[in-house]
Amino acid sequence: MDIRSKLDKVRSGYLRAGVLIGFISWLMWIPVFVAFGFDAVVLFPQSLIVSVAIGILGFIVSVWLYWRVL
């Protein structure tokens, strides 16, 4: 029973971490693309603002849907 309860805690933590990483991925792709230089080559000058707005909107919708499903 002790091992089972510890495994349940690990699984619960794994699921919470997966959800958190999924939510943050709405915004984490922006610095990755900027670090690789896509901002100067591919993106328009004002596209960073649009990307951040879409990321925040996607994050909010994802959190709302998550809480709605729970």
Q: List pLDDT tens digits, range 10-57.
A: 998 888 888 888 888 888 888 877 777 666 656 666 777 778 888 899
CA distance readout (Å), 70 to 4, 43, 67: 24, 37, 5
| The pLDDT value given to residue 20 | 84
Cα separation, 56 vs 70, whole angstroms: 21
> Helix (H, G, I), strand (E, B), or coil: what is residue 36?
coil
pTM of the model: 0.65
Mean pLDDT to the nearest integer, 56-64: 90
